[in-house]
């Protein structure tokens, strides 16, 4: 993806969050052998919500890692969105989000709704220390798809909900919808950085 394509991603996201912030804070994260991933941070707004969006995951289409030659044009494209209620500290979250966004290149993962990405350690450090969340559950975000020139597929913006290791195990056992049902039944606010984990039965 050319730099002007990434500019289109940034502008698309800026328009979506125009009521939250005129310009986002931007972190640039690099991993060995991977093109840099930017993480745009909007907020907190009056509702204390902070929004983090990757820019760079959609440079290349996601495809079957078993293919000998990657298709440079066809295949799904995505960026990752994390929404949280601000607690004043989120050290390391930008890097964790960038790691999820880099997973298609690094691990050959195709990011899609209901996907589970486990990073194996705390996603960030909050005011009280490392958070209990070690994975993210992907879903639909409220950011509209960004059309691309034919024959490319549109860029989808996937929400990434931070979850605990116990919740990740539940997703593997019962599925994403069962986890979401458990949150609803338990009254769990997944936007709260200090939330308790759901305890599905």
- Report domain extents, the chain: 3-186
Residue 49 has pLDDT above 70, yes or no: yes
| CA angle (101, 21, 154) in 5-degree steps | 40
Query: What is the reported pLDDT for 193?
Result: 85
Q: 95 pLDDT exceeds 80?
A: yes
Amino acid 94: pLDDT? 95
How confident is the model at residue 176, as a pLDDT? 96
Q: What percent of the chain has a predicted confidence (pLDDT) above 70?
A: 92
Q: For the residues 128-152, what does the mean pLDDT come to?
A: 94
Judge whether residue 2 has pLDDT over 70.
no
Predicted TM-score (pTM) of this structure? 0.91
Indicate the DSSP class of residue 57.
G
**Rounded percentage of the chain residues whose pLDDT exceeds 90:** 66
Segment 182-186 shows an average pLDDT of 91
- Average the pLDDT over 153-167 and give the result: 96
For the stretch 99-104, contacts whose Cβ atoms lie closer than 8 Å and that sit 24 or more positions apart, written own/partner, are: 99/31, 100/54, 100/136, 100/160, 101/37, 101/54, 101/56, 101/57, 102/31, 102/34, 102/37, 102/57, 104/57, 104/60, 104/62, 104/78
Residue 70 pLDDT > 80: no
């Amino acid at each position: 993806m050319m730099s002007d394509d990434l500019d289109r991603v940034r502008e698309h996201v800026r328009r979506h969050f125009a009521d939250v912030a005129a310009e986002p804070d931007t972190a640039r994260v690099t991993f060995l052998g991977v093109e840099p991933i930017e993480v745009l941070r909007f907020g907190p707004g009056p509702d204390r919500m902070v929004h983090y969006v990757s820019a760079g995951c959609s440079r290349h289409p996601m495809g079957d890692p078993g293919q000998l030659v990657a298709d440079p044009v066809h295949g799904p494209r995505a960026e990752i969105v994390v929404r949280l209620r601000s607690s004043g500290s989120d050290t390391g979250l930008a890097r964790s989000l960038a790691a999820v966004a880099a997973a298609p290149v690094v691990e050959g993962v195709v990011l899609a709704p209901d996907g589970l990405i486990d990073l194996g350690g705390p996603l960030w450090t909050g005011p009280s220390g490392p958070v209990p969340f070690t994975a993210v559950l992907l879903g639909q975000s409220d950011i509209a798809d960004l059309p691309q020139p034919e024959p490319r597929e549109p860029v989808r913006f996937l929400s990434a909900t931070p979850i605990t290791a116990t919740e990740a195990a539940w997703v593997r056992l019962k599925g994403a919808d069962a986890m979401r049902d458990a949150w609803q039944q338990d009254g769990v606010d997944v936007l709260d950085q200090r939330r308790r984990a759901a305890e599905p039965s």
